[in-house]
Structure 1
């Protein structure tokens, strides 16, 4: 596990700015926070080395790509020992965009994106429930995603 490093106000400001727009240049950050670009570079590298910054990503509008159905599925396995093999099979399903190993009612909780309810039905019956380690599932369809944000640094 990564050792926690202490972030100061400048680190937090840089991180928050990059979280809002990862394309901001070090020169722009330096100007904004009245430090040198080298200082920004050192701070960003420190956060990368500590595992705080793990990469950058392009965010896409899933609806614009035709994915109209977002759902969450609670999965119960036959046995806890089935976790690793079930997870390997879930990773092969392109519709699964997130997976969590959880406590409580389900062993695994996944987020699926599908283009339609018909596609969701196909994925559930012919793909997900066909995994031999899966004992049962419960599907929750998302109607909207009114809050979507990162944690604050």
Structure 2
């Protein structure tokens, strides 16, 4: 959904600060932005109403939760299996993200794993319906950067 809200530099700074720490108190946020608390709160409400900010979230440490490995899995459904494969992805809780993409593959996903041994049991059910290509993630030098 495209927003009709015109954003100024203060709005962009609010978004950038909240993207780094969604739990930042309005008092600290307004101090860093250089506005009053009520003015900062109003800007946040306006951006929420306009769809620019849709939710506040947390950044989880998957390793601390017992998932030290992640994999990028590209999935190319066999003819006639697109919706079946999409449902399989949505119903497998290990998949963290899924993007429908153009090109050779139809889906690019991110999978959380407790161990490398967990990979085959997750992907085996897909092999009748799709081709998969997997890469284990070594590190993520850039994640979730805001373009504003």
Question: Alignment RMSD, CA only?
Answer: 1.7
Alignment partner of 1:122 is 2:117: no
Q: Are the equivalent residues in 2 in contact too, given 1:90–1:128 (CA < 8 A)? A: no
Aligned 1:13-92 pairs, distance under 5 A: 13-79=13-79, 82-92=81-91
Q: How many residues align?
A: 148
Equivalent in 111, 121, 134 of residue 139 of structure 1: 134
Compared with structure 1, are the counterparts of its residues 83 and 5 closer, same or farther at alpha carbon in structure 2 (3 Å cutoff)?
farther
SS of residue paired to 2:42: helix
Whether the 8 Å contact between 1:4 and 1:50 is mirrored in structure 2 is yes
1:69-98 Cα shifts (integer Å, max 9, x gaps): 21111111123x533332122111011111
In structure 1, the gaps of 5 or more residues are: none
Q: CA deviation at 1:7?
A: 0.8
Q: Give the whole-Å Cα distance in 1 for the aligned partners of 2:12 and 2:104.
A: 37
3-state SS, counterpart of residue 23 of structure 1: coil
CA contact (8 A) 1:97 1:112 kept: yes
TM-score (normalised: structure 2)? 0.89
* 1:104-119 matches, cutoff 5 A: 104-119=103-118
2:146 aligned partner: 151
Unpaired segments of 5 or more residues in structure 2?
Answer: none
Q: Deviation of residue 22 (structure 1)?
A: 1.4
